[in-house]
Amino acid sequence: MSKVKKIRWRWIESPTGITPLVRFRILFGGLILNASSCSESDQNSDCLPVTTDQSVNLDEFLGLWYELGGIPLVFNTGCSCTTAEYTLSTTSPGQVTVNNSCDRFAFGSVEGFAYAPDPNDFSKLKVKFTSFPSPTADYWVLYFNNVDGHMLVGSPTKSSLYILSRTNSISSSDYQGMLSIAEDMCYDISKVEKTDHTDCTYN
């Protein structure tokens, strides 16, 4: 098994005075802000409304998930061995601590927190990363299957989409099934890229 290479972050001032980390923050923050705009597919009358899976609950949501595919964003393009771990916050009641890991993250992982604005609806979460300045983003659970350990997450604007599993691989039929759910709601599944989990060493 080959180990995931950790990238040591070097603080190098560019001629403009903007460090690589600051540039990353600017790109990521701008991307999330852009996600608040309306999707063109919203104008398609054939689209099913973006709905969430009311069966999801806190206890079954917590733990480690493997990202098997998703719409790549600026900050995670080309990532492999991607995971998301959710743990109950010990300092803020009602909040979930978020730890996202990718082999290309310069600092190993990014951390933040998630919460449900409506305590009676855990399917519509808000997420904010604290590793760098970022606005709060919508994190909606579109499909949840606790028995098989599958979850589909996206933003209501359809700018982000993630296929998650409790294992780092699933059958093609299960993967395509979750894509179909997103496609019915007019997410642009042509943008979805599979996440490579070959020879990963997870933290």
Would residue 1 count as lying in a domain? no
126 or 39, higher pLDDT: 126
Would residue 2 count as lying in a domain? no
Question: Which range marks the domain in which residue 81 is found?
Answer: 43-194
Q: What is the pLDDT of residue 175?
A: 98
Would residue 173 count as lying in a domain? yes
Would residue 62 count as lying in a domain? yes
What tens digit of pLDDT does each residue of 72-114 get? 887 677 789 999 999 999 999 989 999 999 887 655 788 999 9
Would residue 11 count as lying in a domain? no
Q: What is the pLDDT of residue 112?
A: 94
Q: What is the pLDDT of residue 10?
A: 35
**Does 149 score more than 50 pLDDT?**
yes
How many domains is the chain built from?
1
Would residue 21 count as lying in a domain? no
Q: Are 34 and 159 in contact (CB under 8 A)?
A: yes
What tens digit of pLDDT does each residue of 121-145 get? 999 999 998 877 788 999 999 999 9
| pLDDT average, residue stretch 32-37 | 38
Q: What is the pLDDT of residue 43?
A: 55
- CB burial readout 117-152, b (16+ within 10 A) else e: eeeeebbbbebbbebbebeebbbbbbbbbeeebbbb
- CB burial readout 157-184, b (16+ within 10 A) else e: bbbbbbbbbeebebeeebbeebbebbbe
Q: What is the pLDDT of residue 75?
A: 67
Q: What is the pLDDT of residue 105?
A: 60
**Does 36 score more than 50 pLDDT?**
no
* Residue 174: CATH number of its domain: 2.40.128.20
Would residue 172 count as lying in a domain? yes
Percent of the chain whose predicted confidence (pLDDT) is above 90:
63
Provide the 10 A C-beta neighbour count for residue 11.
7
Q: What is the pLDDT of residue 23?
A: 39
What tens digit of pLDDT does each residue of 179-193 get? 999 999 999 999 999
Q: What is the pLDDT of residue 37?
A: 37
41 or 33, higher pLDDT: 41
Closest CA to 195 of 64, 67, 65, 6: 67
Q: What is the pLDDT of residue 28?
A: 40
Q: Has this prediction a pTM greater than 0.85?
A: no
- Residue 34 φ then ψ, to 5°: -65, -25
Q: What is the pLDDT of residue 201?
A: 87
Q: What is the pLDDT of residue 102?
A: 87
Would residue 30 count as lying in a domain? no
